Amino acid sequence: MAKAATDIPGQIGASDLYTIEEFKRRLGLSSWAMWKARRSGLKVYHVARHRYVLGKDYIAFVESTGK
């Protein structure tokens, strides 16, 4: 059975919103790596004690910090 697009590790959609845990799981990031990304400028949204990352913000972050 083929995986749905939302189940593919490493795939981040520009128009999708992810919880921090889902975001870390998809990209295989540790808590330390996530902390470093946030300190380096990755935008994180806080709503009712929950944290989210918007796909387009992550893509912009990679484009601006990537080599």
The one-digit pLDDT tens for each residue of the chain (67 residues) are 455 555 567 789 999 999 999 999 999 999 999 999 999 999 999 999 999 999 999 999 999 987 7
pLDDT at 63: 93
**Assigned token pair, 34:** 């996530």
Residues 8, 38: contact at Cβ < 8 Å? no
Instruction: List phi, psi (to 5°) of 50.
Output: -115, 150
pLDDT at 66: 75
Residues 21, 31: contact at Cβ < 8 Å? no
pLDDT at 6: 56
